Amino acid sequence: MRLLIKNGTVIDPSQSLNGKYDILVEDGRIKDIRSLSIERDCTSIDADGCYVVPGLIDMHVHLRDPGFEEKEDILTGSEAAAAGGFTSIVCMPNTKPVIDNADTIKYIQKKAEEAITNVYIMGSITKGLTGETLCDYKLLKDAGIVGITDDGMTVMNAKVMYEALKSAKESNMLTSVHCEDVNLVYDNSIHQGHVSSQLGLQGRPSVSEDIIVERDILLAESLKARVHIQHVASKNSIELIRRAKMRGVAVSCEVTPHHFSLWDEYVLTKGTNAKMSPPLRSREDMEAIIEGIMDGTVDAIATDHAPHSDADKNKDLLYAANGIVGLETALGLALTNLVHSGKIDMNKLVELMSLNPAKLLGIEKGTLKIGREADITIIHPNKKWIVDKKTFKSKSKNTPFDGMELTGKTVATIVGGKVVYADER
């Protein structure tokens, strides 16, 4: 099969491409890229007025399968990803059973055969996500994982975390960490600040995040190991990561669209759909995250896509589940709040949402180089649209962005040369 994508503005930071090019896809791979029109007798997509970029990669997704398929499964998760412009997603291990063994990895790989995007897998740092006993990382890597994390849980024992980083370094795997000192969490509600006080809640202080961020940076520094900080939400954590990078620590980090788009006051109007972990913090924290994106402290944008049923969310703030769906709104939020606001340009956005995640994970994605698999996202940067959760491909609809107008949307998502999503255009 041959496919020609013509008249688009191609942006590929891996090759310093930013201009008008035609891209020819043949047998699922990039065959040719030229500034002059490629005349071919084949199926074509006219991308005039659009950006053509390497397929977006989300390195932090909860697919809920196995164990919680009523919230999401691997097929519906991949459909939501494709609708959001993602060609590759990485699923987290807090499933039932936990992804701490080869059999569960094989199950996911088998289910992923029906997915319309690439699905990668993170194994757990500790068995059962208990924070106590390390998994066999070599065994898990041989089975097919791309990294380890106890996401949703913090490895509270510093010795266990030290040994995990050491073992992961020996296996040359990325260690992604959820940072929150549970001993400083007063209740499982929202950020500790004026909004929590207004609601009579004790909350979750930002220092609970900062302490573990600094601990894991220091552990990685002592071992000369890599550590990746997930969903950074605190201004102090951003500063700790910035300083660590300046002194040469191999630390990277990700932020979510909700943490650079919202702050804790949104809980007052959005209720439990604005409850997540880590929580939305102050507006000052949000602005610090944006600054970290602009100055290169932040390496990646990841959604932390966390599907939940209405029953999970329709509870008191203390008891409602943490998290929101994010695959179908991430690109629009990033374009609206970062690119169109003048904070960053498209080249930087592609680095954050494609090239850098590929590098961190060690996968051969995030590029449009000739010969590589044709994973491509076509984006209309100026398309205005209203978020309507009823149209989501995801099984779950827990979002604070329902009804919000965004500017910029996926036109088409191409995986291995096959168009897996196309909007009405």
Active site residues: 304
C-beta atoms surrounding 338 within 10 Å: 23
Element (H, E) at 78: helix 74-83
Could you tell me whether strands 251-255 and 300-301 are parallel, antiparallel, or unpaired per DSSP bridges? parallel
> Which stretches within 147-296 are classed as H helix?
158-170, 194-198, 207-223, 235-246, 257-261, 267-270, 283-295
Element (H, E) at 54: strand 51-54
In angstroms, the CA 374 to CA 417 distance is 5
Facing residues of 414 across strands? 376, 419
Q: Backbone dihedral region of 394: left (phi > 0), alpha (psi from -120 to 50 degrees) or beta?
A: beta
Alpha-carbon distances of 354 from 28, 40, 312, 364, rounded to whole Å:
19, 28, 32, 11
